[in-house]
Structure 1
């Protein structure tokens, strides 16, 4: 009888703790990249590379890694649009520049993360933040070497800083 009483008391205690946590549950308040901001970032990255003579494709992804804007530049190779998406998705997913992720893979080639869908170990994308919170990413593909792609992404984020507050 005593063990049954202890079991019932423990169950009631657990149920009341669960009820208290559910009662305090609130909706999340999230910031997200609007279409005008995504368009501005994509166009700025594209223009930054084009002004240097690089034909690139650009993709901006949102909070959950979903594509918001994709631009396939004139005279770009067919793979650049997919590559810009994968770079942006990688940067958003891991909340770091895609080049930093590429270095992690180089340092630990047995990491299974590189085999995840839409992830690529290549430089050229940067996370888009509001404060310290990552709300998306911009990926660029087509300039020679990933550092030039990344420089165009950085120019776009720098220009959009005031809009990301």
Structure 2
């Protein structure tokens, strides 16, 4: 008799847990992310914009967690530009701001210490990629003569898929 009672209690418990499980999943937040196809379009758009201006650059697009999704080193781009574009993109994503804003913050407060963090660089040339107010990635460009030119190319890449970022 005890075995039957225990079996029924276990069965009732299992049914209760199974009934509650879908409710728990329904409460998970929706997560927006940057698909590879969109990252490729951004990278190509940024690269093309710089090439049209005669700049040999590298472009990196990172996702929402700072992970590299697309990295390309353009023909004739200096070897360091690939790493620099990645670090710019990572910086922009990490601080949720254009990398040029971080460069200005460090210039205004040299003791801030941000540049001592692994993977961070305080140089203009990267922009966050947003869907509404949510940051889903960043694009960094390196190789044009001056970070402001890199940033113009980064913006051109984002603008290429602007209709998808609404």
* 2:83 is the counterpart of 1:82: yes
Once the two structures are TM-superposed, the CA of residue 26 in structure 1 deviates from its matched residue by 2.8
Structure 2's unaligned 5+ residue stretches are 1-23
**What RMSD over aligned residues (CA atoms) do the two structures have, in Å?**
1.4
Once the two structures are TM-superposed, the CA of residue 46 in structure 1 deviates from its matched residue by 0.2
Structure 1's unaligned 5+ residue stretches are 1-22
Moved over 4 A (4+): none
Q: Which residue does 2:64 correspond to in 1?
A: 63
Once the two structures are TM-superposed, the CA of residue 79 in structure 1 deviates from its matched residue by 0.4
Q: Distance in 1 between matches of 2:34 and 2:25?
A: 28
Distance 1:24 1:47, change over 3 A: closer
Cα distance per residue 1:25-80 (max 9 Å; x no partner): 93221100000000000000000000010000000000000000001001111100
What secondary structure, in the 3-state scheme, does the structure 2 residue paired with 1:87 have? helix
Q: Which residue does 1:164 correspond to in 2?
A: 165
Once the two structures are TM-superposed, the CA of residue 159 in structure 1 deviates from its matched residue by 1.7
Q: Distance in 1 between matches of 2:115 and 2:30?
A: 31
Q: Distance in 2 between matches of 1:77 and 1:146?
A: 15
TM-score (norm 2): 0.83
Matches within 5 A, 1:5-20: none
TM-score (norm 1): 0.84
Q: Distance in 2 between matches of 1:40 and 1:24?
A: 33
